Amino acid sequence: MSDDVMTPEGGPPPGGGEANGWRKEYWRKNLRLMVVLLIVWFAVSFGCGILFVEQLNQVVIGGFPLGFWFAQQGAIYTFIVLILVYAVRMDRLDREYGVHERNHDGGLT
């Protein structure tokens, strides 16, 4: 999985140095994930749905001018996928750093 890209980049040796070094690492990974997802969020809604809507409207699929489709349908589907990716990856990140909650809730089960 592409997850490997996000694992330790030769950070401080475990146990040595600051006891809370993991905190910085965890937070940095959280922020990176967040920024990537927010870029997609902006590109799809404000990009495809507003800034470039007229150019995209030249293409018509299934009766929908494409820009119009993004503005009234596509952006919403994308938002769902973004939150799904965030929830899944944060679950993984929490476990990786041992900060997951032991009293479990949510998820698809």
Partner 1 sequence: MTETQIWALVFVALTFSVYIYIAWRSRVRETRGFFVAEQNVPAIANGAAVAADWMSAASFISMAGLIAFLGSDGSVYLMGWTGGYVLLALLLAPYLRKWGKFTVPEFVGDRFSETVRSVAAVVAIIVSFTYVVGQMAGGGIVFSRFLEIPQAGGVAIAAAVIFTYAVFGGMKGITWTQVAQYTVMIVAYLIPAWAVAHTITGIPVPQVSFGRILEELNALQAEFGLDQYTQAFTARPQLDVFLVTMALMIGTAGLPHVIIRFYTTKSVRGSRWSALWALVFIALLYTTAPAVGAFTKFNLLQGVQGQPVDALPQWVQNWQATGLVSVSESADTITSITNKATVFADGGADLLVNNDILVLASPEIAGLPAPIVGLVAAGGLAAAMSTAAGLLLVISSSVSHDLYFRYVDHHASEARRLGVSRIAMGLAVLVAIYFGINPPAFVAQVVAFAFGLAASTFFPLLVLGVFWKRTNAAGAVSGMLAGLAFTGSYMIHTLEVFGTSAHEYVFGISPEGIGTLGAVVNLVVTIVVSLATRPPSHEVQEMVEQIRYPAEREEVGAN
Strands (E), the chain: 60-61, 64-65
Q: How far is the CB of 17 from partner 1 (least distance, A)?
A: 12
Instruction: Identify which of residues 10 and 107 has a Cβ nearer to partner 1 in the complex.
Output: 107
| 74 in Cβ contact with 53 (< 8 Å) | no
Instruction: Identify which of residues 10 and 55 has a Cβ nearer to partner 1 in the complex.
Output: 55
Give me the long-range contacts of 37-40 (CB less than 8 A, separation at least 24). 37/82, 37/85, 37/86, 40/78, 40/82
Interface residues with partner 1 (CB under 8 A) are: 14-15, 22-23, 26-27, 30, 34, 37-38, 41, 45-46, 49-51, 53-54, 57, 61-65, 67-69, 71-73, 75-77, 79-80, 82-84, 86-87, 90-91, 94, 97-107
Instruction: Identify which of residues 2 and 56 has a Cβ nearer to partner 1 in the complex.
Output: 56
Instruction: Identify which of residues 11 and 84 has a Cβ nearer to partner 1 in the complex.
Output: 84
Q: For residue 31, count other CB atoms closer than 10 A to its CB.
A: 10
